[in-house]
Structure 1
Amino acid sequence: MRIIIIGGVAAGTSVAAKLRRNDEKCEIIIYEKGQFISYSTCGMPYLIGRDEISAQDLVPRDPKWFAKRFQIDIKTGHEVISLSAESRSIEVKNLDKGATFTDHYDELVLATGSQAVIPPIKGIDQEHVFTVKTMEDTLSLEKYLEKTTVSNALVIGAGFIGLEIFENLIKRGISTRLVEAKTSLMPLIDDDMSPWIEDYCVKNKLQYALGELVERIEKTRVSTKSGNIYPADLVIIAAGVKAETSLALSAGIALGKSGAIQIDEKMNTSIKHIKAVGDCAEVWSVSTGNPMFRPMGSTANKMGRIAGDSLSGGDLAFRGVLGTGIVKFFDLYIGLTGLTHFESEKTGMDVEIIHNIKENQSKYLPESREMIIKALADRKTGKLLGVQIIGEKGVDKRLDVFVTAMTFGATVDDLFHLDLSYAPPLSSTKDPVMYTGMILSNAIYRNRKIVTPEQLLGHESEYQIIDVRSSKDFERGSIEGAENIPLAKLRENLHRLEKNRPTITHCNKGVSGNTAQNLLLNSRFNEVYNISGGYKNYKIFKTYRG
């Protein structure tokens, strides 16, 4: 059997390696347009900013290695320019020699990846404008930086790659500004979480601009639709990616709702004998079953392994993804998995939303750091639907626990019962994961209602707001119209409060606010809410969204 794979980065080489492990007799050929194979796309921004990382670190394998170990024939510098599903043939162009030839397959795998989204900006084709999508892109940028003195850089796009390249240009000593067309940093997360990233940028004097659409790039500056002009003698385009589907479209292969190639659990496309894997293929949500486009190296490798197994008669099947992602942004870690609030609204689900601010370890240790966790759960089933976390320590550990729990259909009550590891340098006795489950469970099943800062802002006068922090904390800042009754004095002041008026209690982060909420509800107050994430979350949200 002759199997041809188009594309030799993460997914394509994963297909080939798994296939060979299962089958010694089949003939495996990979055609790759570029000169590099099996490289770390996600590691490319760090090549720009870290001296200890070399290109060789990101490209650990070459065609000779695959030929020697697996007897796989990889042809780099070969672009597949057409595909005929009817004759099971492809036309290939040797980019070095310019010659074209035809090849035939028994089975074909499309691993064509994704391509950078290039916004319609005047002057975008100049020599000081780069993308960081392929290894060739990154090496071109590195070469440019080595021979050119750059005073000011500008990064267009504040997603994963945008944040990473922004950080690494600054670490290289270049004054850099981040510009995002949308109104929040890291647009994949909810808008009420972005202010925590914005606050980090302000405190660390990092330059960024939101809601700015770049219209023109000149030699030493860029101009935006709003009329702002920013200095820039280097511009990085990090405006996202889209599935590379030109070959699939030419062959009549069906695309999904996301614009990527539609596949089934065995990676089969709509045409027999053709599979698709990696960034060119559409995946689906574990939470909803709905199609989605979420290009990730980890997912690409998984899909490649499944396709290779399927081609050799195995029973591996793709189960979908939660859409997990994480990025390091200086000392901050930003992670998400499952549904965002925006996505949950489109499903029509009735969701509970909470924010939980907790330390990554016992807070009496000076090295401890807070993280904020936003979690969504289905009020009907109690199942956890989505989580977003921002913090300086312990984010990846908690995110992966949530991912595991959600993958196996955990409910909010299940989170509290997890037997998680504990030692003061590593966690708290009630880990932030457990506490998240407790807050959600109380809100869904025990009438401990939560109001988010987004829901409260602009409606403060509709509530009786009781601030149970100390008088000193209250004097440093408070919600307009709130009455300060420290928690220790709340019982003796209950007679002064209106039991039939909607009431909000709050402290700084939520724990004492919940204690006050319990006291009021047990004293027959009709409707009592606790502010999600406390005054700290409210203040951050109001500062950047008020």
Structure 2
Amino acid sequence: MRILVIGGVAGGMSAAARARRLDEHAEIIVFEKGKYVSFANCGLPYHVGGEIEQDSYLLLHTPDSLKAELDLDVRTEHEVISIDRDAQSVLVATPEGTETFEYDALVLSPGADAIVPPIEGMDLPEVTHLRTVDQARSLAVRAADARRAVVMGAGFIGLETAEALRHRGLEVTVVELAPQVLPPLAPEMSSLVEKELRAHGVDVRTGVAAVGVVKDPAHEGVTVNLDDGGAIGADIVVVSVGVRPSSALASEAGLEVDGRGAIVVDDQQRTTDPHIWAAGDAIAVRHGVTGQVGPVPLAGPANRQGRRAADSIMGRIDKAQPVLGTAIVRVFGETAAMTGASPRMLDMAGIDYFVVHTHPANHAGYYPGSQVLHLMGVFSPEGKLLGAQAVGPDGADKRIDVLATALRAGMDADDIAELELAYAPPFGSAKDPVNMLGFLAQNVVNGTTRTWSAKDLEWARDSALILDVRSEREYAMGHLPEALNLPHTHIREYIEGVKQIAAGRPVRVLCASGVRSYYAHRVLAQHGLDSATLDGGMFTLVESVPGLELVHGTAQPANA
């Protein structure tokens, strides 16, 4: 059997390596149009920033090492330019000319192409992308002599690049068309990341687009012009506004692609041609929560897809699972991670849900080094987990990994509340943040807790008694102007006074993170008051309402 693989890196090399393990006698040829068939593309920004000092560390395998280890015939700088499905052959542009290769099975793993905005100046030498080892090498060298950089795009790679260039000492501006950085995050979680960027000197411009890059006649470098009339000087411009599937070869061969240009495959990675499989960033996958189909360019799924394609070629049945989109990024001292569906995705899909936020310590509060972890869970009305997000300096990764596993297993709030997770003071708490998320969702589902959120703020201001149950000192440091202060430890003592002040109105309770307001809410509810606790407390409210005005200083308390 002859197996041809188009494209290396994650999907293609996983397919080739798995095929060899399953069939020692197959002839396996890998064609890679670039110079490197196996490199750590996720590590590129860390070489630019100097954390990965030697670019050679990014090169995982070479044609020689793959030949020695797996007996693979790997041909770099060989570009497949056409597929003849009837003849089961491909035409390859080689350094010596063109050559035709026949196949019994063909695996497509062409990856994705960087999107180039249709604006002036994208061909200037100051403008680059960060998709290849050569681009990372060049950017690292140029950063040593540069002073100013603009990063177009505030997604994962954009923010990693911004951090890398800031580590190099450059003045960095991030420009993002969306109204927030990291658009996949919920806005209240994204704002935490934006604060971290600003705290490290990064100029963040959201809700604005670059409309052109022009040479600066007065100074060295270029000027990036924005659609709000702004202009930013730069010595380096890194374009990171997204990718699109590199599916032209498949499309020209008559294989089915979807509306976004992704190659359509079945649950064994087979395309609409029975002799051709596809894997990686170029294919369409189904989302495990929303059911929506489209490209999800992530390394983990690409590796599994390549492995599955090889299994299918060898006659093994290994059906693909839907993708959850689990992802993580470090931004200076914060980590942002996510899995499953966001509220925005669920809104677009028309799926009902509720959200809970918690702000626990990343490990036992009495153990040195404890820091706040911001955790958000999205659940169906019945309590099934639909998605989760976390932002924090430490511990976000393991919580999202646990929740991604729970999501794959179809767990609900009851299951998550009962997860038995490793505990010792340096690593977590007896009630882990993951368990706490489950407890919160349990309480909402079974009616123990009623919550209100930022979207209810204007209604609460007009129609409810807002009760701030933090300490008097916390209240004085900043509170809603309408809120009356009654520390939660005094709720029972002054319950009749609260009833008089409420005068039949609903009571909406808040505190810093939602814990004390939950305690107060339970007391109020059991004394017959229409009460609800603010989901996530002031932590979440402030991040959810940009520019929220708070009053500082003491005011008339509710127990006066």
Is the TM value for this pair above 0.5?
Answer: yes
Structural mapping, 1:281-296, within 5 Å: 281-296=283-298
Structural mapping, 1:31-110, within 5 Å: 31-50=31-50, 52-94=52-94, 96-97=95-96, 99-110=97-108
Match of 1:177 among 170, 173, 180: 173
The one-letter code sitting in structure 1 at the alignment partner of 2:519 is T
Tell me the distance in 2 between the aligned counterparts of 1:27 and 1:545. 65
Structural mapping, 1:145-156, within 5 Å: 145=143, 149-156=145-152
Cα distance change of structure 1 residues 103 and 86 upon mapping to structure 2, 3 Å threshold:
same
Q: Deviations over 1:450-475 (max 9, x none)?
A: 22224425752232111001111111
User: 1:422, 1:428 within 8 Å by CA — same for their partners in 2?
Assistant: yes
1:257 shift after superposition:
4.7
Task: Indicate whether 1:507 and 2:511 are aligned.
Answer: yes
Task: Indicate whether 1:442 and 2:446 are aligned.
Answer: no
1:512 shift after superposition:
0.4
User: 1:199, 1:540 within 8 Å by CA — same for their partners in 2?
Assistant: no
1:19 shift after superposition:
0.3
Unaligned runs of 5+ in 2: 216-221, 550-560
Task: Indicate whether 1:158 and 2:154 are aligned.
Answer: yes
Tell me the distance in 1 between the aligned counterparts of 2:440 and 2:514. 10
Cα distance change of structure 1 residues 545 and 11 upon mapping to structure 2, 3 Å threshold:
farther
Structural mapping, 1:121-160, within 5 Å: 121-145=119-143, 149-160=145-156
Q: How many residues align?
A: 540
Tell me the distance in 1 between the aligned counterparts of 2:489 and 2:430. 25
User: 1:63, 1:75 within 8 Å by CA — same for their partners in 2?
Assistant: yes
- SS of residue matched to 1:31: strand
User: 1:468, 1:507 within 8 Å by CA — same for their partners in 2?
Assistant: yes
Q: Deviations over 1:74-125 (max 9, x none)?
A: 111011111121221211111x33x112221111110000010111121111
Q: Deviations over 1:145-170 (max 9, x none)?
A: 45xx2110010001110010100111
2:539 alignment counterpart: 536
Q: Deviations over 1:353-398 (max 9, x none)?
A: 1111111001123311111111110113x21000010000101110
1:364 alignment counterpart: 366
Structural mapping, 1:430-509, within 5 Å: 430-456=431-457, 460-496=461-497, 497=499, 498=502, 500-509=504-513
Tell me the distance in 1 between the aligned counterparts of 2:388 and 2:458. 23
1:25 alignment counterpart: 25
1:338 alignment counterpart: 340
2:554 alignment counterpart: none
User: 1:339, 1:386 within 8 Å by CA — same for their partners in 2?
Assistant: yes
Unaligned runs of 5+ in 1: none
1:136 shift after superposition:
2.8
2:281 alignment counterpart: 279
User: 1:354, 1:533 within 8 Å by CA — same for their partners in 2?
Assistant: yes
- SS of residue matched to 1:280: coil
2:553 alignment counterpart: none
Tell me the distance in 1 between the aligned counterparts of 2:122 and 2:286. 34
User: 2:333, 2:393 within 8 Å by CA — same for their partners in 1?
Assistant: yes
Match of 1:209 among 205, 211, 215: 205
Tell me the distance in 1 between the aligned counterparts of 2:433 and 2:406. 14
Larger deviation: 443-452 or 26-35?
Answer: 443-452
Coordinate RMSD, CA, aligned: 1.6
The one-letter code sitting in structure 1 at the alignment partner of 2:174 is L
Larger deviation: 204-213 or 505-514?
Answer: 204-213
- SS of residue matched to 2:60: coil
2:521 alignment counterpart: 517
Structural mapping, 1:194-343, within 5 Å: 194-219=190-215, 220-343=222-345
Tell me the distance in 2 between the aligned counterparts of 1:77 and 1:544. 53
1:428 alignment counterpart: 429
Match of 1:190 among 181, 186, 190: 186
- SS of residue matched to 1:337: strand
Larger deviation: 13-22 or 308-317?
Answer: 308-317
Q: Deviations over 1:290-345 (max 9, x none)?
A: 31321111111111111111112222221121110000111100000000001111
Larger deviation: 249-258 or 399-408?
Answer: 249-258
User: 2:288, 2:323 within 8 Å by CA — same for their partners in 1?
Assistant: yes
2:117 alignment counterpart: 119
- SS of residue matched to 2:232: strand
The one-letter code sitting in structure 2 at the alignment partner of 1:322 is L
Larger deviation: 303-312 or 493-502?
Answer: 493-502
Task: Indicate whether 1:418 and 2:433 are aligned.
Answer: no
Cα distance change of structure 1 residues 14 and 457 upon mapping to structure 2, 3 Å threshold:
farther
User: 1:375, 1:436 within 8 Å by CA — same for their partners in 2?
Assistant: yes
Tell me the distance in 2 between the aligned counterparts of 1:162 and 1:515. 42
User: 2:470, 2:488 within 8 Å by CA — same for their partners in 1?
Assistant: yes
Q: Deviations over 1:434-485 (max 9, x none)?
A: 0001111111212412222244257522321110011111111111311111
User: 2:49, 2:140 within 8 Å by CA — same for their partners in 1?
Assistant: no
1:532 shift after superposition:
1.3
User: 1:352, 1:444 within 8 Å by CA — same for their partners in 2?
Assistant: no
The one-letter code sitting in structure 1 at the alignment partner of 2:7 is G
User: 1:362, 1:426 within 8 Å by CA — same for their partners in 2?
Assistant: yes
1:544 shift after superposition:
4.9
Tell me the distance in 1 between the aligned counterparts of 2:348 and 2:124. 40
Tell me the distance in 1 between the aligned counterparts of 2:92 and 2:379. 50
Q: Deviations over 1:254-282 (max 9, x none)?
A: 11354311111110011221111011111
The one-letter code sitting in structure 2 at the alignment partner of 1:464 is L
Cα distance change of structure 1 residues 113 and 68 upon mapping to structure 2, 3 Å threshold:
same
The one-letter code sitting in structure 1 at the alignment partner of 2:138 is S
1:395 alignment counterpart: 396
Q: Deviations over 1:170-225 (max 9, x none)?
A: 11111111111111010111222211112223333321111120011123321101
User: 1:499, 1:525 within 8 Å by CA — same for their partners in 2?
Assistant: no
